[in-house]
């Protein structure tokens, strides 16, 4: 929601990335959470495209919530404008905003269920 996005924006840095930029790599340590504001990105697991993300979509939450390596590689397929939040700020956001926490955990559950 707009209100949730405003809460995220208070903790985030805005970044611009070129097409082809790898934002996360499967198996790498997790240090950030991303929200796409503009542009598109492909999500690949084991080299196979499993999703395409666009404005309003977020990623990076699974590894941060589970304290595990990245589950997929996300690569910009166009120029991207995004919000990025550090792992520490992400955990604080979830703790201080139960509504956002609920939405993020629902997304984690849905994405993990898709892998089954």
- Is residue 37 a contact partner of residue 82, using CB atoms and an 8 Å limit? yes
pLDDT digits (tens, 9 = 90+) for 84-93: 999 999 888 8
Backbone angles phi, psi at 11, to 5 degrees: -100, -10
More confident residue, 20 or 65: 20
Q: What is the pTM of this model?
A: 0.84
- Is residue 58 a contact partner of residue 33, using CB atoms and an 8 Å limit? yes
The CA distances from residue 103 to 47, 58, 108, in Å, are: 28, 11, 9
């Amino acid at each position: 929601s707009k209100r949730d996005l405003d809460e995220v924006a208070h903790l985030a840095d805005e970044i611009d990335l070129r097409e082809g930029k790898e934002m996360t790599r499967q198996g790498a340590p997790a240090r950030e959470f991303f929200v796409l504001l503009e542009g598109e990105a492909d999500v690949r697991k084991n080299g196979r495209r499993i999703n395409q993300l666009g404005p309003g979509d977020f990623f990076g939450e699974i590894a941060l919530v589970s304290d595990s390596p990245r589950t997929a590689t996300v690569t910009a397929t166009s120029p991207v404008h995004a919000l990025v939040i550090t792992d520490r700020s992400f955990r604080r956001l979830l703790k201080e905003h139960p509504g956002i926490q609920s939405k993020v955990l629902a997304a984690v559950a849905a994405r993990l269920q898709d892998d089954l």
